[in-house]
Structure 1
Amino acid sequence: MANATDEKLKAIEDFLAGLTSNDLDRMPFADDIVLISPIDPEHPVVGKAAAAEFLKKRVFPRIPVRRAEVERHLVDGDCVGTLWKATFAPAGATEVVVPIFDFFRIENGKIRELRPYFDPKPLKEAAAA
């Protein structure tokens, strides 16, 4: 049987796989997930349906992630910090590589909280070009 750390890391791997393939079904979101994005930090997204809608409307069509390269994870109880590089492919623009630090809270293999930290400026500039 996998230990608790392995279960948390698998949830993150599944999330990143879903992110790079635009496949919401692969993302193990809890029904009551809270997502706070630097794209719109003043308006947290609450609930699985709202998180899916945010990804479908604000991320997948505008700034799709084509590659996720994990550097490391830091695990502390139910919380995991993941340092990774995302290769974004904005429509009509060249790819942009952005370092990201994600804070996850994972319970029973489901992501209950997700707070990505990154500089959104390069993405906004690429999308506007």
Structure 2
Amino acid sequence: MKRRLTIHFPRETVHHPITYRLAVDFDIAAKILRAQIAPNQSGTMVVELSGDIDELDAAEQWLEDLGLGLDRAPGEIRIDRDRCVDCGICSSVCPSGALRSLPPTWRLEFRAQHCLVCEQCIPSCPVDAIDLVLEVR
């Protein structure tokens, strides 16, 4: 099973070997999708955790017990094709390649299966055609 989480590190926890402990103690594979962590400062990391469902639950509890904030991927990104003008700005900030403009028409393509739900595309859209939808179908 896989879960996508955003982990928020308070200043006092940035030195903990989180991904190592997840692998050794819980047999969880942690794929780091995006990280912004600096020594002696707070940080954020988006990870995709893979493993047994019981171990995932135990690992999440351990992370919370360490004082880390966890955000589960709350929904999905949706593109309003009526509003989108295919400018491609969102594709330039998309870390996973879920958004891309393809020649020869340069029409925006959204591949939801690649989306990290990092939400970087939302503020980049000049026509507000991208939204986070909390109720996933």
The TM-score, its normalising length taken from structure 1, stands at 0.31
Q: Which has the higher helix share?
A: 1
Q: Which has the higher strand share?
A: 1
